[in-house]
Amino acid sequence: MVSFIKKIRNKIKLSKKYKKIDKLVKKNNIINIDKNDLCYVNLNICGENNSVIIKKLSNFSKGIININITGSNNKIFIDENVCVSTGLNINIGNSHYNYIDSKDIEIKIGKYTTFELTYISGVNFGTKIEIGEKCMFSFDTKLINSDFHPIYDNETKQIINYAQDLKIGNHCWLGTNSIVLKNIILQDNTVVGAGAIVTKSFNEGNIIIAGNPAVIKKKNIIWSDSAHEYCVNNPLSNIKVISPEKTIEKIIKDKTSICRFGDGEFRLLLGKDLDFEIYSEKIEQALKNILHSNNDNILVGINYHLFYPLLEMRNINAFWTKHYIKNNIDIIKSMLKKGKTYYSSEFTSMYAIMDNTYNYEEHFNNLRKIWDKRDIVLVHGKGIFNNIQYNIFDNVSSIVKVEAPNKNAFEDYNKIYEEIKKESKEKLIILILGPAATVLAYELAKEGYQAIDLGHAAKDYDWYKKGIKPDEGDNVAKFYSPD
């Protein structure tokens, strides 16, 4: 009964909001807010021809966004996947009797920016407040583009403190109780210390600024918005993971084999089925043995970004990774062997994972060196090359293909293994076969083959050449779904 009453109350509240928005729209104001997010937005507008557009908020956004506009022709735009934990207060103009209406003010907030409790104020005419993507605002942070009251030159009687623009770059972090004032530009990757008051712009990024007034305290820094990295990256954890770039380098230089563990392999270790591989005790035991193996010629790959900063990642991948870390990192750490050096598993899908600041061309050039002018045996699921236009293996000397089931391939493990063993150990074995490839690569490497578990690399290269955006629409699901 209690839950039923709560539902009725929520419907009444939403109904009132719909009616209120309807009134605002009739005044030629444009209101575009996802219906599922209306319960998190309080909107008060006194004026006409204003625009408030809030794209779909993050699923983790539970705080309230309070928007107050006094004036006309103002615009507020909040891009997708913004997360408000406690509250975000945005004021344009001021209803106080001393103030005239504000006009033509623009406030923009970039994708994947997070707020604990933040106050943003824009007044006067034609000014802009811009916040980039992936920024993080702590408690009681403020962005203010005016002094609210005029100050005059005593001789000319001219106002000397008009409101001015304010811009925060991408991936900036504002510490608790920090204030950024008018006529300020902060470059990308700027960290503002707790309690700082920023009164001037800084021409360089990757810096820490602090104090009143804020000054540069440290240069050439990077930071991550994942508190879990701060814990899992602790040297006391005794877990070392080599970067994707160094992993490729190691394979080329030493002709090592590699077995890769992604979230699917760890799910199997937890006794859970995958869409393309059912759980069995046999595959669980095989994967456990590989994780704890001690063979210098067989690299074991795990997700590098679980332990190191989520820098240069596509927004949706960084978001997913942070969520995955939060729920799984302790379990994964318990499965790993302390003191062992692991390598990157995601070197096979860097285009899908990394944003456009990453050098994709250099990556694929280096990756293709692994099999350049080599005789290879390509073991893959049936049909996975049906939609591949650009062949990542067009630089090999020769190729023998071994087809296997594209689902539940581990059930045919012995048959596949014996088929591969018919080939010379001089040939490079490349496996694109899900978790079955992880086990096959390990067992073949023990027999003296060089075997590479290559994951999604063929599709990754094809999408890069085609210019498909992995983070648009449902492309992420398409990329990782079974072919």
pLDDT digits (tens, 9 = 90+) for 376-409: 999 999 988 888 999 999 999 999 999 999 889 9
Q: Say yes or no to pLDDT of 25 above 80.
A: no
What does the mean pLDDT of the chain come to?
Answer: 87
pLDDT computed for residue 43 by the predictor: 92
What is the pLDDT, as a whole number, of residue 3? 42
| pLDDT > 70: percent of the chain | 89
CB 268 within 8 A of CB 283: yes
Percentage of the chain surpassing pLDDT 90?
65
Residue spans of alpha helices (H) in 369-412: none
Residue 11 has pLDDT above 50, yes or no: no
Give the pLDDT of residue 190. 96
Asked whether residue 336 carries a pLDDT value surpassing 70, the answer given is: yes
- The predicted model scores a pTM of 0.64
- Across 197-303, the runs of DSSP E, i.e. the strands, are 197-198, 207-210, 215-219, 240-241, 257-260, 298-302
Domain spans, the chain: 11-219, 227-480
Candidate CATH numbers 2.40.30.30, 3.40.50.11540, 2.160.10.10, 3.40.50.720; the one for domain 11-219: 2.160.10.10
pLDDT, average across residues 178-197? 96
5 pLDDT exceeds 50? no
Would the pLDDT of 6 be above 50? no
| pLDDT-based confidence at residue 87 (cuts at 50, 70, 90) | very high
Confidence of residue 239 (pLDDT cuts 50, 70, 90): confident
Does the pLDDT of residue 7 top 90, yes or no? no
